[in-house]
Amino acid sequence: MSIRDLALEKNLKDVRIFDAHFHIGESRCTSIYIEPMSEADSLALSKRCGIDKVAGIAMGAMGKNDAKKEVDWLVDLAESRDDMFFYAWYQPRQHAALMEQIAALKDHPLFMGVKIHPREDCSHLDDGGYDQFMEYCAVHNIPVLCHTWEEEPMNRPASFERYLAKYPDMKIILGHMGGVRRGCMDAMRMAREYKNVYCDINGSLYSELWIEEMVKFAPEHKFIFSTDQTFNDTRPVLGRVLLSKIPDRLKEMILCENIENLVGKKLV
């Protein structure tokens, strides 16, 4: 039976699905209404929709909060469950505390990498504030997941070119793959040109690219599935992959294998 048919029958138990970009915790910094849900309920919803495990990001780490404390909370949560990995957090204004925390966590079995969100942290990829952090991640082979959106000058995908010029093999996941069309096209170009640049497909809803066409613009092993919940609904991006006409083998890669190969560990 095809993956599409399994999805239509709500029988996804044999399809491995890992959500590589999953916000969790209190939504303190958001300027939009987000349906409140407990961590347990949020993870249970993911399961009901077909997702096996997630890579959590502490919602409270964004913006003018004590990010270190929020990441500690997230690590405790991940350790208490069997369905969750975690990203650490970095922002330039809390440099010392967060770099110390990243160093302490980087060998943790549930560690996925570090999330950065220049827009929410009032930072800018181009102003040098991330230089030391990027160097550390490149040297230690730590994946960096960055919120990218073409219309936001502080975190356009192409801004990573300056880091890739110095560290061409560093692992970068372009969150939302730049969102709108120009950003998506840049993200896919960079995924073609650089060995370890990946496209996180949530957010590409506004790119006027159907997934059947999108996968022709970059190598198949460069597309990563994620939902961006709880900013976004659990189901739309999942449906884009599961119900599309791309081959089942490619669906398996996008839904789980590509991120496993990127972080070098079995996730599901």
Tokens of 141: 């082979």
Q: Which of residues 236-265 bind other proteins (CB under 8 A)?
A: 236-245
| Distances in whole angstroms, Cα of residue 116 to Cα of each of 39, 89, 90, 124 | 21, 6, 6, 11
Q: Which of residues 215-234 bind other proteins (CB under 8 A)?
A: 229-234
| Closest separation in Å from C-beta 235 to other proteins | 4
Interface residue with other proteins among 48, 195, 249, 265 (CB under 8 A) is: 48
| Closest separation in Å from C-beta 212 to other proteins | 4
Distance, CA of 87 to CA of 19 (rounded, Å) = 12
Distance, CA of 144 to CA of 7 (rounded, Å) = 31
Q: Closer to other proteins at the Cβ: 23 or 115?
A: 23
Q: What is the DSSP string of 47-93?
A: HHHT--EEEEEEGGGSSSS-HHHHHHHHHHHHHT-SSEEEEEE--GG
String of contacts with other proteins for each residue 181-220, x by CB under 8 A: x-----------------------xxxxxxxxxx------
Q: Closer to other proteins at the Cβ: 211 or 262?
A: 211
Interface residue with other proteins among 6, 29, 45, 99 (CB under 8 A) is: 45
Interface residue with other proteins among 63, 108, 235, 260 (CB under 8 A) is: 235
- Residue 70's nearest CA partner among 33, 20, 124, 117 is 117
Q: Closer to other proteins at the Cβ: 63 or 239?
A: 239
Q: Which uninterrupted H or E stretch holds 103?
A: helix 95-105
**Contact region with other proteins (CB under 8 A), list: 30-38, 68-76, 129-137, 160-168:** 30-38
| Closest separation in Å from C-beta 214 to other proteins | 7
**219 residue type, one letter:** P
HSE-up (13 A, CA, CB side) for residue 52: 14
The site for other proteins, by CB under 8 A, has a size of 41
Q: Which residues contact 250 (CB under 8 A, 6 or more apart)?
A: 215, 220
- The residue ranges that bind other proteins (CB under 8 A) are 7-8, 10, 31-35, 37, 45, 48-50, 181, 205-214, 229-245
